Amino acid sequence: MPVLEAKDLRKEYKLGGHRVNALEGINFQVEKGEFVAIMGPSGSGKSTLLHLLGGLDSPSSGGITLAGQNLARLSEHKATLVRRHNVGFVFQFFNLLPTLSAEENILLPVIIDGKDPRKYKERLARLLELVGLQDRRHHKPDQLSGGEQQRVAIARALVTEPAILLADEPTGNLDTKTGTAIMELLRRSCDELQQTVIAVTHDARAAAYADRVIFLRDGSIVHERTADSEEAFGPRLRGILETMEQLEAV
């Protein structure tokens, strides 16, 4: 049974009196533990799709089923609770609270949920180990590098064991080396924690870590590329780059 399913997803905006179709009939499914990258040129609808999948915005028509619930029909409050329990977010600009330590930032979703963070000691230790920040747990965001901040953000997204982790340009604000480390971390979370991950990215290198890459153009899925588990990183990256070139050429 898929963790996430989008059915004939459409989103219309009104912009200066004109109707703009941001998404036009998107259909796809994501299985548990799968790592999906969404790619496409600027204005292709990637961010809109991510907003709909995370329950941040509602579709004009169509449905999204996440962990057995149709997000399109939920009230604002219920959508918030779905986000709280079933969605983890990783942002391009990390979005950590500057007044909290790394550890407190990671535990923030648990605290918001009114749970006792002391009961999450083991989970915290495991996540800190996963992101490699055991020694930096008491540091404030301004004492951490960009890569470290993003790792804190990933740990925060994973702390509630969400059904799905949504990453919006997770390497967009990082150098290549740090970006690689972050993508490897997301990959490991899939492999080791059976975490489902959907990442929106411009970066073909980042997308090459995914099991499947969905290519969008003008609000529609125009191509899907599923990686062969035997396929090496190099050829996989080349394949993605070629597809992107073709899309941008059209």
Partner 1 sequence: MMRLTRMLTFRSIRARFPRFALSAFGIILGVAGLLAIRATNTAALNSIVTLFESTSGRAKLTLVTAEADQGSFSEEILQRVQTTPGVALANPLVIVRTDLADDRPAAGLNLGLFGTDAGGLALHGVVPSLETQTRAYTLTAGRFLEEKPKEYEIVLVEEYARDKELSLGDWVEILTPNGVRRLKLVGLIAREGPGQTNNGSFGVMPLDTAQELFNRARNLDQIDIVLVNPNPDTAELASLRANLQDEVGAKYSVVYPSGQGERMTQMLQNYQIGLNFMSGIALFVGAFLIYNAFAMTIVERTREFGMLRTIGMTQRQVVAQVFVEAGILGIFGSAAGVGLGVLLARGLTRLMEVIMNQGLGSVDFASPDILFSLILGLGVTLLAAGLPAWQAGRISPMEALRVRGKSREGWLIRYGWTLGALLLIGSVVLLVINPFPYDVQFRLGSLTVFGLFTGATLLIPVTVGVWERVTRPIMGWLYGASGSLGSRNVQRSRVRTTLTVAALMVGVAMVIMVRGMTESFASDLRVWMKAYLGGDIYVTSSVRMRSDIGRRIQEVEGVYAVAPIRYFDVKWQTPTGETESLNFMAVDVAAYTRVTNFVFSGQQVNCQFALQRIQQEGTVFISNVLAEKYDLGIGDALRLRTASGYRDFEIVGIVVDFYNQGMVVEGDWETMRRYFHIKDASTFLVKVQEGRSAPQVQNEIDMLYGERYHLTLESNESVRGRALNLMDQAFRMFDVMALISIVVGSLGVVNTLTMSVIERTREIGMLRAIGTTRGQIVRMVLAEAALMGAIGGILGLGTGVVLARILFIGMTTMSGYQLTFTLPPEGVAFSLVMALVVSQIAAIPPAIRAARTRILEAVQYE
Name the helix (H) or strand (E) containing 200. strand 197-200
CA 236 to chain centre: 20
One-letter identity of residue 158: L
Cβ of residue 21: shortest distance to partner 1, in angstroms? 19
**Exactly one of 20, 31, 70, 93 binds partner 1 (CB under 8 A); which one?**
93
Tell whether residue 113 is a contact of partner 1 (CB under 8 A). Answer: yes
Instruction: Considering the complex, state which of residue 160 and residue 196 has its C-beta at the smaller distance from partner 1.
Output: 160
Q: Smallest gap, in angstroms, from Cβ of residue 55 to partner 1? A: 9
What is the chain's percent helix, strand, coil content, to nearest 5? 40, 25, 30
Binding segment toward partner 1, per CB under 8 A, in 37-45, 73-81, 178-186, 236-244: 73-81
Judged by CB under 8 A, the stretch of 4-12, 33-41, 94-102, 204-212 that binds partner 1 is 94-102
Q: How far apart are CA 37 and CA 105, in angstroms?
A: 26
Please check whether residue 137 is in contact with residue 128, taking contact to mean a CB–CB distance below 8 angstroms: yes
| Residue choice 16, 17, 68, 114 for contact with partner 1 (CB under 8 A) | 114
Looking at this protein, which amino acid is placed at residue 116? D
Pick the piece of the chain touching partner 1 (CB under 8 A) from 62-70, 99-107, 219-227, 237-245: 99-107
Q: Is 89 in the site for partner 1 (CB under 8 A)?
A: yes
CA 154 to chain centre: 10
- Cβ nearer to partner 1, comparing 69 with 80: 80
Show contacts with partner 1 in window 45-64 (CB under 8 A). 47, 50-51, 54, 56-57
Give CA angle at 239 (150, 131), nearest 5°: 20
* Whole-number Å distance between alpha carbons of 67 and 248: 35
Q: Which of 99, 119, 134, 250 binds partner 1 (CB under 8 A)?
A: 99
Output the DSSP codes for 5-19.
EEEEEEEEEEETTEE
Q: Do 199 and 206 form a contact (C-beta atoms < 8 A)?
A: yes
Residue in 51, 153, 145 with CA at minimum distance from that of residue 95: 153
CB of 93 to partner 1, least distance (A): 6
Binding of partner 1 by 108 (CB under 8 A): yes
- Kindly list the residues in this chain that would bind partner 1 in the complex (CB under 8 A): 47, 50-51, 54, 56-57, 76-77, 80-81, 83-85, 88-89, 91-93, 95, 97-100, 104, 108-109, 111-114, 117, 156-157, 160, 168, 173
